[in-house]
Structures are given as C-alpha cells and as structure tokens.
Amino acid sequence: DPYADDPVRHPALKVNSQRPFNAEPPPELLTENYITPNPIFFTRNHLPVPNLKPETYRLHVVGPPGCQSLSLSLDDLYQFPKHEVTVTLQCAGNRRSEMTQFKEVKGLEWNAGAISTARWAGARLCDVLAKAGHQLRETEAHVCFEGLDSDPTGTAYGASIPLARAMDPEADVLLAYEMNGQPLPRDHGFPVRVVVPGVVGARHVKWLGKVSVEPEESYSHWQRRDYKGFSPSVDWDTVDFDSAPSIQELPVQSAITEPKDGETVQSGEVTIKGYAWSGGGRAIVRVDVSLDGGLTWQVAELDGEEQRPRKAWAWRLWQLQAPVPAGKKELNIVCKAVDDSYNVQPDTVAPIWNLRGVLSNAWHRVHVRVTP
C-alpha cells in the first residue's frame, strides 16, 4: 500500500477521499480563526505523501542555456532573505458539491471548506531565480515546478506559472519552508512548497523537487488536462483541453459558515458568519447578506486584516447580526462578495456549470428553520 506511510490526520477533518487523502475542516471551525491552525488546514493530495529527509533534501533549479543550474539544500534556502506573507489557498474544486447538485460533474465532492489561510515563510522565488542568473527577458516563458510525490509509473505532480509572476518581487511568490511558524507539516509539502499568492491551489506545488524555466507551460496532466474552465455546453465527448487557458488567478468567492444548512436558529436575532476572498490580490470591498433568498440585502461587517491594494492575498472573515423578521418560520440566507474591481459572484450555478466542477462561486445559500 503506497499510502501506508501517510501521516496521521486531525479527527475533525471531513474526509472526501482517504487514498489519496483529501479533507476539509467543518465550516464552523474554518472561520473560528483568521489564520487556520495547521492540523485543520484543508488537504488536497493527488498521490501518496512522500517521506523526505531534511538532511538529504535538495531543490534542483534548472535554467535555460546561459543560466546556472543550482542544487540547494535546506540550509542553502535559509541563506536567502526570509520573507513572510499571509496567503489564502483555495482549491479550484472548492464548493464543487453545489455544481454536482445541479448536474453531475467529475471530481471530489468538496463543500465550502477547500480553502484555508496561513502565514507562510520562505525564500522568494525571484531571489532564487536571480541567483541562477535569471532576468525577466522572455515574457512568454513559464516557471515549471515538480513535486517529489509520484504515481506507480514514476510520474510526479507538476504545474507552472508565468515567468513574469515568478520574477515580480511584488507578487510575493515563495519557496516556503514554514507554515504558521512551524516547519511545513508533511501533508502540506514538507520540507518545501511553492506559495503563489492570489493563484489557484493547484500551482502551489508541495514537496518541491525541481524548478525550471521553460518556453512552454508544464506538460503535467494537472496543468494541461485538468484545472481549466469550460462552457456549460461542453461535455466529455466534445471537450478540447487545449482550447482553454489553465486556471491561474481565481474569481471572487464567499461562503456562509454559520449557521449551517438545515440548522434551526432562535427567533429574535441571528448571527451569520463566513469568509470572502478574491484572486490576483484583489481586495474584498463588501459582502452582502440576504435573509430572504436575495430580495433584500444587508451589508456584513468585515473582520480580519485590512489588505493592501493589489496585494490582498488573504481572505476577510465577515459577520452580520440581524433581527429575525417576526413570524418567519424559515430563512433563506444568501451571501455574495464584491472585490475591488467590482467583480461579483453569479447568482446561480447554471450559467457557470462545467464538466470538472471547478470555479464554483455562485451566491452561497443556506436554508434554516426558526424556532417559534
């Protein structure tokens, strides 16, 4: 069993798949803290978790002709200036189960918990690439990452990002060796992973073994044959993966974490909580909440760290305390967020449904009963 050596996990996690391990924290735990504690940070593995020895670990940095190749130990990485950033990581499949409810899709049944926030620390990718002699010349180039996790045929997890993002010091792309002040937990990429703020989780390659600058995107399955969006009209007979760009920056997202769907709440006053985040460093400027399915709206209070313009890498938590309208027996609670480009979430799943169930960011809806 290639999974026999996987680490022990926190019992509070809701497991979507055991081998490979995929799990999310329950919603009420997710927004208990602005920074998600490591043991309940959502986990998305495609393969068994490698067991890497820090003493013998090496990161191979391979450049195009004219550049140096580097083989870096952990100690070598510690010599680069240590950079720390709070970043929210979201899987492209977050909230996929809502797409499934509309129409069947292929993929893991994530609820709204395939998203978490941590304080990451490590070397900046641009500093490491500069050491190898890189300059931003070919803007068409890509930085490819390879994990040290692999399937029985020896194929490793891989992904890539555009070189321009990798070389931009303001983009804060990290080769991270710390998560919330601790060495990375095994499930989250020990000893080194990529963190690409504002970009889909799939590009944050864990157990990083190799970084290379290439003229083309990564040839990995997960770059070319997955993690792409399509029209609702496209099915598995007609899909052409080459016709769509790989997902990089994610669209604006929000969800309700309390109360939970199907719960019963007290009459009088109700407290509604959730998270909101947008890709590409776009800050959340507002979250609107409705108690009547979207007929009338109230503005929620935003908590958590104020985000810098164009570098809003982390989520905002939000809450609303509202009187329950007298005589109501049930509430249809809805939330939707607005980012600083005034991007909004679509009101239903139908127009954004796609065969892989990615980019699921329709208004989030929760139905609760009210005690008389």
> CA nearest 122: which of 51, 70, 187, 188?
188
Stretch that binds ligand MTE, among 7-15, 37-45, 53-61, 324-332 (CB under 6 A): 37-45
Distance, first Cα to last Cα, the chain: 54
Q: How far is the CB of 90 from ligand MTE (least distance, A)?
A: 7
3-state secondary structure of 188: helix
C-alpha closest to that of 228 among 246, 251, 249, 253: 246
Phi, psi of 284, deg, nearest 5: -80, 125
Does 149 sit near ligand MTE (CB under 6 A)?
yes
The smaller minimum CB distance to Mo ion, of residues 87 and 331, is found at 87
44 binds Mo ion, rule: CB under 5 A? yes
The amino acid present at 228, given as its one-letter code, is: K
Residue 353, contacted partner among Mo ion, ligand MTE, none, CB below 5-8 A by kind: none
Contact region for ligand MTE (CB under 6 A) — 35-43, 51-59, 284-292, 327-335?
35-43
Asked whether position 338 contacts Mo ion by CB under 5 A, the answer is no
Least CB distance to ligand MTE at residue 229 (A) = 15
Whichever of 14 and 46 has its CB closer to ligand MTE, that residue is 46
Cα 208 from Cα 49, distance rounded (Å) = 12
Radius of gyration of the chain (CA): 21
Q: Which of 83, 206, 228, 316 binds ligand MTE (CB under 6 A)?
A: 206
Which of 205, 265, 287, 358 forms a contact with ligand MTE (CB under 6 A)?
A: 205
How far apart are the C-alpha atoms of 207 and 201, rounded to whole Å? 14
Q: Which does 315 bind (CB under 5 to 8 A by kind): ligand MTE, Mo ion, none?
A: none
Separation of alpha carbons 258 and 32, rounded Å: 10
Q: Which does 24 bind (CB under 5 to 8 A by kind): Mo ion, ligand MTE, none?
A: none
CB of 320 to ligand MTE, least distance (A): 28
By CB under 6 A, residue 277 contacts ligand MTE: no
Q: Which of residues 90-109 bind Mo ion (CB under 5 A)?
A: 91
Are 40 and 25 spatial neighbours (Cβ–Cβ below 8 Å)?
yes
- Residue 207 binding result from Mo ion, ligand MTE, none, given CB thresholds of 5 to 8 Å by partner type: ligand MTE
Q: Contact between 160 and ligand MTE (CB under 6 A)?
A: no
Residue 33 makes CB contacts below 8 A (sequence gap 6+) with none
Residue 89 binding partner per list Mo ion, ligand MTE, none, with a CB distance cut-off of 5 to 8 Å that depends on partner kind: ligand MTE
Q: Least distance in Å: CB of 222 to ligand MTE?
A: 7
**Residue from 23, 27, 44, 274 binding ligand MTE (CB under 6 A):** 44
**201 binds Mo ion, rule: CB under 5 A:** yes
CA distance 130 to 21: 36
User: In this structure, are residues 333 and 319 in contact, taking their beta carbons and an 8 Å threshold?
Assistant: no
Residue from 27, 48, 107, 147 touching ligand MTE (CB under 6 A): that is 147
Select the residue interacting with ligand MTE from 57, 120, 157, 313 (CB under 6 A). 157
Q: Per CB under 6 A, does 42 bind ligand MTE?
A: yes
Query: Cα 268 vs. chain centroid, distance in angstroms?
Result: 36
Nearest to 357 by CA among 23, 153, 99, 85: 99
With CB under 5 to 8 Å by kind, the binding choice for 349 among Mo ion, ligand MTE, none is none
202 near ligand MTE, rule: CB under 6 A: yes
Q: Using alpha carbons, select from 287, 279, 283 the residue that is nearest to residue 339.
A: 283
Q: DSSP states of 86-150 as a string? A: EEEEE-TTTTHHHHHHHS--SS----TTSEEEEEEEEEEHHHHHHHTT--S--TT-EEEEEEEEE
Which residues would be at the binding site for Mo ion (CB under 5 A)?
44, 91, 201-202
Which residues would be at the binding site for ligand MTE (CB under 6 A)?
41-47, 89, 91, 147, 149, 157, 187-188, 201-202, 204-207
